[in-house]
Structure formats: C-alpha cells, structure tokens
Amino acid sequence: MGFLEEIKRRRTFGIISHPDAGKTTLTEKLLLFGGAIQEAGAVKSNKIKKGATSDFMEIERQRGISVATSVLAFVYKDKKINILDTPGHKDFAEDTFRTLTAVDSVIVVIDVAKGVEEQTEKLVKVCRMRKIPIIVFINKLDREGKDAFDLMDEVEQKLGLKVTPLSIPIGMGYDFKGIYNIWEKNIQLFQDESKQTIGKKEHFESLDDPGLEAEIGSSRLENLKEELELIEGVYPTFDQQEYLDGNQQPVLFGSALNNFGVQELLNCFIEIAPKPLAKQSDTRLVEPDDEKFAGFVFKIHANMDPNHRDRLAFIKIVSGTFERNKPYHHVRLKKKLKFSSPNAFFAEKKQIVDISYPGDIVGLHDTGNFKIGDTLTAGDILQFKGIPSFSPEHFRFINNNDPLKAKQLAKGIDQLMDEGVAQLFTLNLNGRKVIGTVGALQFEVIQYRLLHEYGAKCSFENLNVHKACWVEANTEGNDFKEFQRIKQKFLAKDKSGKLVFLADSAFSLQMTQDKYRDIQFHYTSEF
C-alpha cells in the first residue's frame, strides 16, 4: 500500500466522558467489533477509582495500567483505527487536554440518565475551541433515562453544540427494543440478552415491513414515525463538511454494555470521521502528505520500575513516515536522535515497529531528552503549536526536607514537570519554588514519586493563589514598569521563563486588569 493510501485509511480519535458514563466499556466493545480482542474484560480501566486519593500504591498501579491503554489500535474494514485514551478523573484533566492535541476527532459518551455532566462540559469546551469534529454517543439505553429529544436539547444548550441525530432509540430501559438508524435508513431490533458477545439482530429495511409492526407493536411504530417526522422538521440534515468543520455534531444512541448501537457507531465513524489532519507549526501548516517526517510529543509516561528511570514519550506523527533507526532532529535540543525500538500499539499490546504513518502514535524510550510539546523532524526547524499549559487550580510551595538531597530534588522536580505532572513557578522575589496542579491528588503523586524514584524528601506549604495568568505586555511601557514594581510579590517565571502573575483572588485580578489596561493576562501559556 502506498504512502497516501496509508494516510487515508487512518482514523485517530479520543473518547471523552464524565467518569462512569461508559468510556471504558465502549472502548472495549469497539475493540471487540474490530476483532482486536476476543472477549469483554480485556481492556483494563485507566480510571483512578473513587476514594483512592490517598492510596499511593493504587495510584501507581493505575498509572501502570494506563501505559498499556494509552493507545489502542486496530483495523476495521481496512481502516487503521487509533484510539487515544483520556483519563476521566478531573485531577488528570490536563493530561486529557494534551491528548486532545493529538486526536483528529472525538466521540463524547453521555449517560442517558445523567445527561451532560461537569467533566463532559469542560472537555467539550476544549474540543469546540479547537473545532475538533465531535460525534455524541448516548449510552446506557437499557436503563431508564431522559427522553431522547430532551437530552439532545440539553446537549445543545449545555455543550453549545448543533446536533443532528443519526439514530433514534425505540423504547428505553426495560422497554428498549432497538434503534432506528437514520444514517443507514434501517431498523435493528436487539433480542440477544448476552452481554459478552455480539447479539443477534433482526434487520428491517423499511418502516412498512409487516414484520416490524408485529415485532414492536402498532403504537410504538406510530410513535417512531412521528419522531422521525419531528427530526426531519427540527434538526438539520447531516452534512459531513459541517461535521468536519466542527459546526455540526451527529448523535447516536446505544448501550455499550449490551452491544446495542456500537457497530452502527463504528460503521458511521469510519465513514465520516476525518483522516489525519494538518497541524500548524510556528513556520507553516504541516500537511500529512508532506513526505518529510514531523511529529510532536503529547504525553510522557514514567516507567513503573523505580530502578530504571526511563520513560515512554508518545509522539503523534503529523507528516511523513517515522522509521526505526533513522536519525531525527530534536528541535529544542538541536540534536540528532535515533530510536532502535519505537513501539507501536496494537489492541492492548505494544510492539516494535519499523515504520509508522501520519495519524499513528509511536512510543519512544526516553532517558530525559523529551518534554511535552517537543517537536521531532526529519531536519526541518519548526515547532508545533497548540500544547498550552492551563492555569493550575492548586498552588503550594515545595520545600526540601533533606538538605543533602537538594540535587536529587531539583532533578526530580525538573523531570516530573517535563512529564506534565504539574507546573513549576519560581517566584521573582526570592526564588522560592511553587508547584501548581489541576487536582490535589497530584501533590501526593509528586511527593511519592520524588521519594521513590529520586530519593528526595519534600513537603508542601499552602499558598493562596486564585489563578496563574501569563503576562503579555510592552516591557518598555510605563504600565508594565509600575505593575512589576507594585505586584513584585506575585510575579513568577514558569518553566520556560515566561512571566506569570499569581493573582491571590478574583477581585485582585480584576483590579489589576482594570488598572493596567495595556497589559494582557492570559489563562493559558500560549497566546
């Protein structure tokens, strides 16, 4: 198969949801339909279980599992599908945001009974900002839940999407009979109660099939006809370009656990979802069919074994081919690197590969060369954009508890920050180090890993910060000079040396913004 065909057949996407909506179950069923696994239960959940916040071993165990499930690839109807795993736990939201920089589209899973939940809102907001094509899958139709139309309204209002249903359920909960597939214009009734294998389906091409009325009864049939009329009147017809441009979002219904509507989702997905997309760099738009390799690091995973401090850096291939043992240019370090054992992912296993194509993810063993956002190329000097840091939610001073291990602590902090576990700010005034995280859980992870992987003991001390804002200003201007003098106590540098204002309250941030009109305060590091 030629280079262009290889690109065309790839679909790289992420599944996002609020915890417990069914992301893991859906992933597993997609793999099952793709023939990549033989039975349910093979994919281990990568979620940090509720209540595990102070159980370090549990955190470690979960981290280990997530290496295996970071990328799940399989071939379905000749399409190479790469599913990128996104942690649902809110404390790891930044990990998910970064993974979203490496996907070409997403599937959002929503629980039919719970509707749109908090984490879904946050993640979809990021997708909308980036205009990522979205398919919505409404899950758990085997349970009693909200009315399909009410739910689609909720999705539009809370998530700011413009939906168009591509399937509609017939009944729900105990009375769930099946799905009318608007996309394929057919009906599938599900009868097999088995939760482990793909159930038998009865298939009707038309609503006028007498067998259908016999199966679901005349009142349900009437109801279905009315609903389809309503859909035609109220929702826009599906337009693939609108979907690809991020302006329209198809909705499908089903039950991942019971295999209802999963294959329909997959069939629809491979037809409409985008092939690998171009990505903007600081110098140009890099097209996948550009024959020279370029890619970027979106995730770094530390090894589980504390005796080997090597890590796995996940690279999304944007253009060209990535080949084993070929020298590539590490743009930030300005040096050539060769990789003798790049890992590709297949189902839940990883294996060494000789060649990978745009859309694919390779895992490279790393001894500290990479940090998140790094670009690797066949020689071009360019840097991919779009992996910003967001303002953390929690801030604490980090103190060294063992003066003899200062070096180890500094190295440990440095490497953990490169992995994207948290963000480091250094106060301008006195050089004290402040760690910022999305969730409180990360402080425990950091403390534990510094001790076990670097032999460094640390403690944290609370610091009252409301938000970290990246400062953009004319440094010669009077406004900036005064701001720097008056707010000296609240100024810090991030890890790349950018100036950050650590506002102690929403009020003081507002006052500062009002006072210094010539200064811009950004909630993300890329502006």
- Among 134-142, 162-170, 391-399, 402-410, the segment contacting ligand G4P (CB under 6 A): 134-142
The smaller minimum CB distance to ligand G4P, of residues 166 and 413, is found at: 166
CB of 112 to ligand G4P, least distance (A): 8
CB of 108 to ligand G4P, least distance (A): 11
x/- contact string, 8-47, with ligand G4P (CB under 6 A)? ---------x-xxxxxxx-------------------x-x
CB of 195 to ligand G4P, least distance (A): 9
CB of 343 to ligand G4P, least distance (A): 24
The smaller minimum CB distance to ligand G4P, of residues 45 and 383, is found at: 45
Helix axes 406-419, 441-454, angle to 10 degrees: 130
The smaller minimum CB distance to ligand G4P, of residues 17 and 447, is found at: 17
Does residue 452 contact residue 306 with C-beta atoms inside 8 Å? yes
CB of 140 to ligand G4P, least distance (A): 4
The smaller minimum CB distance to ligand G4P, of residues 169 and 392, is found at: 169
Question: SS in 3 state form for 214-263?
Answer: HHHCHHHHHHHHHHHHHHHHHCCCCCHHHHHCCCCEEEEECECCCCECHH
The smaller minimum CB distance to ligand G4P, of residues 138 and 297, is found at: 138
Footprint of ligand G4P on residues 236-265 (CB under 6 A)?
255-258
Helix axes 262-272, 23-33, angle to 10 degrees: 80
Footprint of ligand G4P on residues 70-109 (CB under 6 A)?
88
Does residue 470 contact residue 500 with C-beta atoms inside 8 Å? yes
What are phi and psi for residue 276, nearest 5 degrees? -50, 135
Q: How far apart are CA 119 and CA 269, in angstroms?
A: 23
The smaller minimum CB distance to ligand G4P, of residues 96 and 415, is found at: 96
Residues 6+ apart with CB under 8 A from 220: 170, 171, 177
The smaller minimum CB distance to ligand G4P, of residues 109 and 166, is found at: 109
The smaller minimum CB distance to ligand G4P, of residues 95 and 374, is found at: 95
Q: How far apart are CA 133 and CA 105, in angstroms?
A: 5
Closest to 416 measured CA to CA, from 400, 436, 402, 432: 436
CB of 136 to ligand G4P, least distance (A): 14
Footprint of ligand G4P on residues 135-164 (CB under 6 A)?
139-140, 142-143
CB of 212 to ligand G4P, least distance (A): 24
Residues 6+ apart with CB under 8 A from 324: 339, 340, 341, 342, 352, 353, 354, 355
Closest to 190 measured CA to CA, from 329, 182, 198: 198
| Alpha-carbon torsion angle 115, 116, 117, 120, nearest 10 | 140
Residues that bind ligand G4P (CB under 6 A): 17, 19-25, 45, 47, 88, 139-140, 142-143, 255-258
